[in-house]
Structure 1
């Protein structure tokens, strides 16, 4: 059930919200929580009803394991923790990596194992990581004795269930326990609708519009077609734009829907193409995944506590896991390895710069833009491996980017200067315009404080007017409905699932 679909916008979301508001008005906070759980389970089962049994089984199993871990003596917890995490990761491995493993075994040995017919449960990578964090914290004694209803809502709250953010129990369950005092007010509703509408615009007007450009170029590369530099750059920049606006759209819509229910989610996306280094990029892109990998992979491996060489190994290992988390293909592993190498170089440069006594702004006023440009081109080059279906396809794109091939692309991949100008104009918006949480900062849209930019202060002044909140809410709602109806009516063939649904 896509957030950008007519059914979701016109039927599902209004129905769930009205039911939730009605129960809170009648002072039934537990009933409101149960309503959200039931609605979230319906939302999840829409794609494949049988996967609902898997989700429920993992919820019950991990909740029980967490309670037992919290009560066991410290010395007896490790075995149960290992078994519980092993079960979670085993389920994830079966659904996501079984055929990948079979393909590699067949390629490396005389075995001829048959492939399994497996439908990947959507969102399994996201809620599996949430459950692993819960188990680890229960083992440490850092997870409280939560009620089952609140735990269910923590795992399956539908705004973030399918593609994040990867929320932490300590930041979400206390909110679910206080629903009676968190009844969304007019400002929450207005802010939520603004964020949802901005996300909807990003998805259906920008991300889905540029997707065919990327699809045609990368499809041509997979056939072995020779790509000229213009086509290669257009295809690469098109996917760079597509994944940015696709993922930021989901993140904005998740924040907005959380706000509609009086729940604040963590920010997961903070203008990553404004990053001035790869370290900065991973503080802005998929922030909650970076947080999980840092807290539950990088630090347990030793972090930076055992010298620079071990830190570099830990960074590479962490990013390899992050790449494999995204997909069961060696191209994702290469993408993770490339970012791991970027991070190693970035950290090594910082150490060298400090030893030489060079200030952070040693390149003068142009320094931040030079750093931003270099970071962007490194990120865009890595996206080639993320998007390509094979190393041959990635090599064809990279050769075209470098101007190392001759000839023209196939007819299906024909692009021109107009597409390049459009893509550069859209990218300029990512570099110079505020992001959605910054625009809606006056509404406190997330768990973290959001700095108010000039546009946010303007929004605040508008909101402080007596009739502004209903007006803003009405305009945002009307805009969302017009966007959905117009786009779905005239461009239904371009509607695509969110990219991160496949992870």
Structure 2
């Protein structure tokens, strides 16, 4: 079940909403929480019920470790026992984090490790081809954050029900955002969230409609062109290659942006504000700014729990560069167990090092040039992110620099049957390279995408008074998106794969 499916929109979400607030109206607050945890687990098990024990086991183990860490933090102690207690706490934290990472590593990287061992040592160990459980990266990272916060004494004394709700709340369960307990649980404890609030309902439906439109109308349309180019196997000319790379660049943008909007919208129906995870990243003027806008909670996680523990910028300039590079290589590997993701992460690590060196020179680049260079780099790096093999990436890049194909003879298209034929039509068509003719619909869509990303984003549109104009706009986009949704089967959100 995905956010853009009719089962979610017409059945799961309305039933979850009405039963939850009905229970709250009956003053059965605990019953409401039990209901939300139950439907969230149903939402998760809908994909593959065999992995339901995995997430339940992960919740129980991490809750037990977090509770011990939290209680140990509040125990009074002498200096001697304090040092001993601190040592035990640190060992418990390390053990908890290691257990989470080992679980993630087993499911996500076993095949990758065996494949590389076979290649390096010329062995032939069998790969188990383990199916990656849905959302394991996100609920693992969420719980690592909880363990670290418990170690620091920043968590309250939660019972198992509240902790389960924090981990499984379905709007953020599958693909984030990666949340801290302090961002979610105080909201569920507030009396202001127990009953429906019309303002939040209207805002939630509005932003959910925008996200649905982005996904099923824009992202899924670009997906067809991106898949044909990357997976087709045929050589690509100049215009086809650029159409392929830009199609995926916008497919990923509107797919992830659409998911983030729908997650925020669904959560708002329950009066819960999720942290913003996507903030117009293609408006960024440098690569650092891009990572402050793209998958914001993941960027914060990598900074707080990887970059800073590695030393951050505290050990000299050269060590800072090494830490930046290592953080993004590991961030790339987090996205998937292939060398394509490692290369993508390494490219961004190098780009951040170059940006840091550039800022030391104190030169200001023209805004238009800064945006163009940032966007072109991001677009190029997405080729490795999308390509399944190095051959696929090389094939796309080869087409992107195949200027000879761009200068191929112009199209010879008869225009006698066209209503607008004549000298002007003949002249216009004869100026168009033959290799561009088949890609004209794609490039028109790409132009529209550039126009859209230059506008206010959905969060900016959401802020302020919910007036009639916004409601009409939201209802219209929802209606159009629903038509597209029923006309074709919507694909899974791309970040569900990570």
Give unmatched runs, 5+ long, in structure 1: 443-459
- What RMSD, in angstroms, separates the aligned Cα atoms of the two structures? 2.0
Q: Post-superposition shift, 1:234?
A: 0.1
Aligned residue among 77, 99, 102 for 1:90:
102
SS in 2 for 1:434: coil
Q: CA deviation digits over 1:297-354, x for unaligned, max 9?
A: 111111111111111101001101110110010000000000001100111111121x
Q: CA deviation digits over 1:85-140, x for unaligned, max 9?
A: 11111111111111111111111113211111422111111111111111122222
How far apart, in 1, do the equivalents of 2:100 and 2:45 lie?
20
- Contact 1:297/1:318 (CA < 8 Å) preserved in 2? yes
- Contact 1:226/1:405 (CA < 8 Å) preserved in 2? no
Using the TM superposition, name which of 192-201 and 138-147 deviates more. 138-147
Distance 1:481 1:37, change over 3 A: farther
Give unmatched runs, 5+ long, in structure 2: 73-84, 409-435
How far apart, in 1, do the equivalents of 2:438 and 2:260 lie?
30
TM-score, with structure 1 as normaliser: 0.87
SS in 1 for 2:208: helix
How far apart, in 2, do the equivalents of 1:393 and 1:475 lie?
40
Equivalence for 2:160: 148
Equivalence for 2:14: 14
How far apart, in 1, do the equivalents of 2:15 and 2:476 lie?
17
Aligned residue among 300, 306, 311 for 1:297:
306
SS in 2 for 1:300: helix
Tell me whether 1:211 sits opposite 2:220 in the alignment: no
How far apart, in 1, do the equivalents of 2:404 and 2:105 lie?
39
- Contact 1:130/1:166 (CA < 8 Å) preserved in 2? yes
1:299-338 equivalence runs, <5 A: 299-338=308-347
How far apart, in 2, do the equivalents of 1:304 and 1:329 lie?
29
- Contact 1:190/1:472 (CA < 8 Å) preserved in 2? no
Q: CA deviation digits over 1:65-89, x for unaligned, max 9?
A: 1111223421211222222111111
- Contact 1:272/1:284 (CA < 8 Å) preserved in 2? yes
How far apart, in 1, do the equivalents of 2:16 and 2:103 lie?
30
Structure scoring higher RCO (CA < 8 A, sep ≥ 6) equals 1
1:49-198 equivalence runs, <5 A: 49-72=49-72, 73-178=85-190, 181-198=193-210
Equivalence for 1:418: 441
How far apart, in 2, do the equivalents of 1:167 and 1:263 lie?
12
Distance 1:277 1:226, change over 3 A: same
Which one has a bigger Cα radius of gyration? Answer: 2
Q: Post-superposition shift, 1:186?
A: 0.8
Q: Post-superposition shift, 1:251?
A: 0.2
How far apart, in 2, do the equivalents of 1:25 and 1:112 lie?
62
Equivalence for 2:2: 2
Equivalence for 2:81: none
Distance 1:36 1:473, change over 3 A: farther
Distance 1:27 1:481, change over 3 A: farther
1:422-501 equivalence runs, <5 A: 422-430=445-453, 432-442=454-464, 460=465, 463=467, 468=468, 476=474, 480=478, 483-484=481-482, 486-492=483-489, 495-501=490-496
Q: Post-superposition shift, 1:499?
A: 0.2
How far apart, in 1, do the equivalents of 2:349 and 2:404 lie?
29
Distance 1:405 1:324, change over 3 A: farther
Equivalence for 1:345: 354
How far apart, in 2, do the equivalents of 1:35 and 1:474 lie?
32
TM-score, with structure 2 as normaliser: 0.88
Q: Post-superposition shift, 1:11?
A: 0.4
How far apart, in 2, do the equivalents of 1:226 and 1:292 lie?
39
How far apart, in 1, do the equivalents of 2:63 and 2:239 lie?
53
Equivalence for 2:423: none
Using the TM superposition, name which of 84-93 and 234-243 deviates more. 84-93
